[in-house]
Amino acid sequence: GIKEEPAKNLVKAGDYIVGINGEKVENKKELADCVKNLEKETVILQIRRDREEIELKMTPVSVSSKERKLGIWVRDNLQGLGTITFLTRDSRFGALGHGIHDVDTNGLVEIAKGSLYATNIRTLMKGRAGMPGSLEGIIVYNSFNRLGEIEKNTEAGIYGKLEKVDRLVEEEIAIEVAKKEEICTGPAQIRCCIGDEICYYDVEILKVYPDDDDESNRNMMIKVTDKELLEKTGGIVQGMSGSPIVQNGKLI
């Protein structure tokens, strides 16, 4: 019944645990195994915090004769739903249009690697003022549904290699990429899959942001003008992130 917090004021939200007692750890299971098999009363955690590596000394708490705990909630994976933006001729992809951030610290998550899976969209929650809508689907984590590997998570999106191109792309049609100076305010189209098929919907580019804008992944402001899309979704919903936008026949 006693409340113990051995990691309090030592470990902080957003820390990356990279080792324990000089032994490298790469996931939750390795960390738990090290704690379970500790031979010493104290442990030294190797932590990476804001690009700096530090060591923290603490005393685990015994919760039974065979189990000790550090009092840290550890997460080593994230998942979400988004849209692939482009695919190059050599099967490199870009998706999402923004980075994957930690839900507690809002910091960009550093990743070693990740997997891309096919998703079955089951429901659509329509957005309204003050409440963003969302596409909701089911992801079955098996080799059949795995489409490729995620190699980078950046503020501008996720990037990697697609392995099952035929499974995802019915027809490969090349599209020219616009230079930034070609993008202008005015009509454009967003390409996305809301129901059973991919469609183009009308949007309007309201503003193009300069290179020196504070937010690195904010490039333009768009307004959905397509009546069909507004009726279905209310605008842009979660899951549409990364949907390609085309203006004057070019990808922008």
64 is catalytic: no
User: What pLDDT shows up at residue 67?
Assistant: 82
123 DSSP β-pair partners? 136
User: Does 50 qualify as catalytic in the annotation?
Assistant: no
Coil, helix or strand at residue 83: coil
Burial class, 69, CB count within 10 angstroms (exposed 0-12 / middle 13-18 / buried 19+): middle
pTM for the predicted model, two decimal places: 0.84
Please report, as a single letter, which amino acid is at residue 178: A
Burial state string for 209-239 with b = 16 or more CB within 10 A and e = fewer than 16: eeeeeeeeeebbebebebeebeebbbbbbeb
**Are 178 and 250 spatial neighbours (Cβ–Cβ below 8 Å)?**
yes
* Cβ–Cβ < 8 Å for 82, 96: yes
| Cβ 49 vs Cβ 12: under 8 Å | yes
| pLDDT for residue 41 | 82
pLDDT at 193: 85
| Residue 215: per-residue pLDDT | 56
> Of these residues, 65, 76, 98, 243, which one is catalytic?
98
Query: Residue 102 has what pLDDT?
Result: 87
Whether 216 sits among the annotated catalytic residues: the reply is no
Query: Catalytic: which of 50, 104, 216, 226?
Result: 226
Query: Got the DSSP string for 172-218?
Result: ----PBPPGGG--SEEEEEEEESSSSEEEEEEEEEEE--TT-SSTT-
Return the pLDDT at 210: 81
pLDDT in tens, the chain (252 residues): 788 899 999 999 999 999 999 999 999 999 988 888 887 788 999 999 988 999 999 999 888 877 888 999 998 888 888 899 999 999 999 999 899 998 888 889 998 889 999 888 888 888 888 888 888 888 888 999 999 999 999 998 999 999 988 777 777 789 999 998 999 999 999 999 887 788 999 999 999 998 765 556 778 999 999 999 999 899 888 889 999 999 999 999
CA 67 – CA 78 distance, rounded (Å): 27
